[in-house]
Amino acid sequence: MEQTMMAVRLLEHGGPEVLQYIEVPVPEVGPDDVLMRVHATAVNSWDLRYRAGNLPQPQPQPQPQPGRPPWPLPFQLGRDAAGEIVATGDNVTRWRPGDRAVQLPHPPCRNCALCLRGLENLCVDTAYPGHQVFGGYAQYVVRRQDAVLPIPDGVDFQTAAATMWTYTTPLNCARQAPVGPGDTVVITGASGGMAIACAQLAKLSGATVIGTTTKPDHDEALGKLGYDHIVHSTDPQLPAQVRELTHGLGADAVWDCVGGNDFFQLSLACTRLGGTVIVLGTPTDQGSRLELDALALIGQQVKIASVRGATLRDQQLCLELLAAGKITPIIDRAYPLEEAAEAHAYLESHRQTGKVLLLP
């Protein structure tokens, strides 16, 4: 008799109401796979984008974007999943039933030319959970045995699920635009889970951290999460405030977690001569095009970089930092899996401070 489970599936694009909580077969376990009972998964901004159908379009043939096959429907979202191994394939040697594990949000193939150079985040032969393969919005998921990592002792499932996607990309960001003692970094969208991760990692490096927010009522709460200063994105004097906080110089780096042209221009206005602007994301409800004045770019000698995913080492390091207590993901609230639509609506309202989880 076929075993079944409950999952949240996306059959069409639209608002939160298109998410369907349905009974489906438990996925089959291949010889190199593990079956994981999911105890916690996270709702991320990417999930909102995918659900709404606001997806990056593939580049025209014959040059499609490497490592980015088409976006499937029906689909199961969930970039993160933490749980317990309950079954293993015949070729699996490193995992046993009862082991606690968390899926890699950026699983590399480990064999392509870029993986062999240590650039697994740019892998051209991968399929990310919650991107091209079914994600964590279910009671069970199947993963390759090398696409999960052990959860450290003392770390619970919810904390592990709130960490991996949120902190791994900022670790990559910290390499692209490093900051250290004496430096100042501006982080946009300070209430978001990834922005909070950026703030904690920048503080860990010894930098002074300025967070921007559109939520004045969150100033006090954000001040306890790693930000040295909070400024308001809607204030036209924000760049002047940043320069005042940096003795007239401007920020050494801006890590833009919001994205979009408005925040790109704001980032450029806050950056010192020779500083760096990192683009981490794009808004779910706006276009992704950015405007740039070449003369201004040259005159300011600003560096502009982007971040795509995370390396295997980033993902391993994330769990090491978590086990050592050096990073602390903030969980705003958790919903039962069957209330995924409510969780999406809440995250879309931008009222959260930190991560929103689903508990299958």
Each residue of 135-161: pLDDT tens digit? 999 999 999 999 999 999 999 999 999
**How far apart are the C-alpha atoms of 196 and 212, rounded to whole Å?**
11
What pLDDT score does 195 carry?
Answer: 94
Rg of the chain on CA atoms, in Å: 20
Over the stretch 277-320, which tens digit does the pLDDT of each residue have? Answer: 999 877 766 667 899 988 888 999 999 999 888 999 999 999 99
Comparison of pLDDT for 73 and 173, the residue scoring more: 73
pLDDT category at 209 given cuts 50, 70, 90 is: very high
How much is the mean pLDDT over the chain? 92
- Residue 73 and residue 196 in contact, taking contact as beta carbons nearer than 8 Å: no
| Residues in Cβ contact with 273 at an 8 Å cutoff, skipping those fewer than 6 apart | 250, 300, 301, 302
**How far apart are the C-alpha atoms of 19 and 12, rounded to whole Å?**
8
Task: With a cut of 90, say whether residue 190 has pLDDT above it.
Answer: yes
What pLDDT score does 336 carry?
Answer: 98
Q: Which residue has the tokens 């075993």?
A: 3
Comparison of pLDDT for 62 and 178, the residue scoring more: 178
pLDDT category at 59 given cuts 50, 70, 90 is: low
* DSSP track, 288-312: ------HHHHHHHT-EEEE--S--H
- Which token pair is 203? 């503080």
What pLDDT score does 71 carry?
Answer: 85
Q: Which residue has the tokens 């970089």?
A: 305
pLDDT category at 163 given cuts 50, 70, 90 is: very high
Residue 78, phi-psi category: left (phi > 0), alpha (psi -120 to 50), beta (remainder) = left
| Residues in Cβ contact with 323 at an 8 Å cutoff, skipping those fewer than 6 apart | 152, 153, 154, 155
What pLDDT score does 62 carry?
Answer: 46
What pLDDT score does 24 carry?
Answer: 97
Query: Which sign, positive or negative, has the C-alpha torsion 167, 169, 172, 174?
Result: negative
| Residues in Cβ contact with 225 at an 8 Å cutoff, skipping those fewer than 6 apart | 196, 199, 200, 330, 353
pTM of the complete model: 0.91
Question: Stretch 208-222: mean pLDDT, rounded?
Answer: 87
Comparison of pLDDT for 220 and 299, the residue scoring more: 299
**How far apart are the C-alpha atoms of 45 and 358, rounded to whole Å?**
14
**How far apart are the C-alpha atoms of 148 and 311, rounded to whole Å?**
14
Q: Which residue has the tokens 């080492």?
A: 313
Task: With a cut of 60, say whether residue 64 has pLDDT above it.
Answer: no
